[in-house]
Amino acid sequence: MSGVRVLVGTRKGAFILTSDGKRQKWDVSGPHFAGWEIYHMKGSPASPNRIYASQTSGWFGQIIQRSDDGGKTWIQPGTPPGEPTTGPGGMPKGESNKFVYDTSAETGKPLTTHQWYDGTQHPWEFKRVWHLEPSLSEPEVVYAGVEDAAIFRSKDGGKSWQELSGLRGHGTGPKWQPGAGGMCLHTIVVDPRNPRRIVIAISAAGAFRTDDGGKTWKPINKGLHSQYIPNPTAEIGHCVHHIAMSRKRPNTLFMQKHWDVMRSDDGGDNWKEVSGNLPTDFGFVIDVHTHEPETIYVVPIKSDGEHFPPDGKLRVYRSRTGGNEWEALTKGLPQKDCYVNVLRDAMAVDSLDKCGIYFGTTGGQVYCSADAGDNWTPIVHGLPAVLSVEVQTLS
């Protein structure tokens, strides 16, 4: 019997929502890590009961949690129960929470400053993990996108983390500048055909790609046009909000930029706008139907100054033509007095035959459509503000 497990990160804890393949009746567990911000949780495609979670706090910093039983129990990978609490030198463990920017001679001492809001140079300061991306094939391998923007990799199930410093050090880093939400690396997309090809996105630096497993990186922002930066077509400086890849056609990428919905058919080398008839092309989330590579979803948000749906109507927009032609999906969604936001990592799709679409709101609702967006029902509607939604399809 197939089923789904929806992983929800919120401002005050994590929640796990499970259902069978019909996706009508749900069990809700949580809050896990009550009181902590859970920026992101994601399961390992290679070992689905393994789930990684980013637990964070402005007071207490970053914690990485891992479950190996589908979210029933959790450990910090650096301090598993039953093992000695100190390492060989007598120093306490706890390495799984340690994200230190690479300044080693071996990897080229990547630069140590970026541009601050006022244009001055500012040192990189680790703040939190925004996104965890488990390897598609190796349960022990997981990537972390962090603020201030950098990508780390663990090859031991989250016990220890090493920066892939070629990204920060490739040359444009001193020009990177934070967006309103901080200078965060929030999107990591791994090519299912070639795990050495990884696309990432940073607010507000833009999109970047590696083709050699993270050693070297290049900006992939050609075709983006951002009116709010001095050179609207600059190589970097674009506020990319999210990128989604078609699993069936990995060279096709879709992007929700600050303003503009974009697509690329060459792995990000070139982009073209596909906002078409959207009521507004500002937004955060974007995702692709699992089985139909030209069917995509966005949630239009009124503007960068007004982070809520236009006219108080929560509408998902679907294009079956890969963009440009969009239809509003409203059945089951509030069409009056709704002023929530849907944040960049808060939409996901399952891989059941009838593709399920999920998204969470800052008002604490998590919606599910079990029919590719035609009809929506709230799974829960009183959670803390939702930061992220991921879904696992279980066989």
Nearer to other proteins, 87 or 174 (CB): 87
Per-residue burial over 215-230, b = 16 or more CB atoms within 10 Å of its CB, e = otherwise? eebbbbbebbbbeebe
| Selected binder of other proteins within 2, 20, 73, 92 (CB under 8 A) | 92
| Selected binder of other proteins within 1, 25, 85, 353 (CB under 8 A) | 85
The verdict on 100 binding other proteins (CB under 8 A) reads yes
Nearer to other proteins, 45 or 94 (CB): 94
The verdict on 93 binding other proteins (CB under 8 A) reads yes
| Selected binder of other proteins within 1, 25, 58, 227 (CB under 8 A) | 58
Nearer to other proteins, 58 or 88 (CB): 58
| Selected binder of other proteins within 4, 14, 63, 188 (CB under 8 A) | 63
Q: Rounded to the nearest whole angstrom, what is the least distance from the CB of residue 29 to other proteins in the complex?
A: 17
Query: How far is 90 from 111, CA to CA, in rounded Å?
Result: 33
DSSP letters along 256-276, please?
EESB-EEEESSTTSS-EE--T
Contact 10, 361 (CB under 8 A): no
Q: Rounded to the nearest whole angstrom, what is the least distance from the CB of residue 85 to other proteins in the complex?
A: 5
Contact 241, 202 (CB under 8 A): no
Question: Mask: binding to other proteins, 13-52, rule CB under 8 A, as x and -?
Answer: ---------------------xxx----------------
- The strand pair at 327-329 and 347-349 is best described as unpaired
DSSP class of residue 46 equals: T
Q: Rounded to the nearest whole angstrom, what is the least distance from the CB of residue 381 to other proteins in the complex?
A: 23
Region from 86-94, 276-284, 288-296, 318-326 binding other proteins, contact rule CB under 8 A: 86-94
State the number of CA atoms in the 13 A half-sphere of 36 facing the CB: 21
Question: Does the N-terminal peptide bond of residue 260 adopt cis geometry, omega within 30 degrees of 0?
Answer: no
Query: How far is 2 from 20, CA to CA, in rounded Å?
Result: 6
The verdict on 109 binding other proteins (CB under 8 A) reads no
Contacts of 53 (CB under 8 A, 6+ apart): 9, 14, 32, 33, 38, 40, 41, 64, 65, 66, 67, 74, 132
Site residues (vs other proteins, CB under 8 A): 34-36, 57-63, 76, 78-79, 85-86, 90, 92-94, 97-98, 100
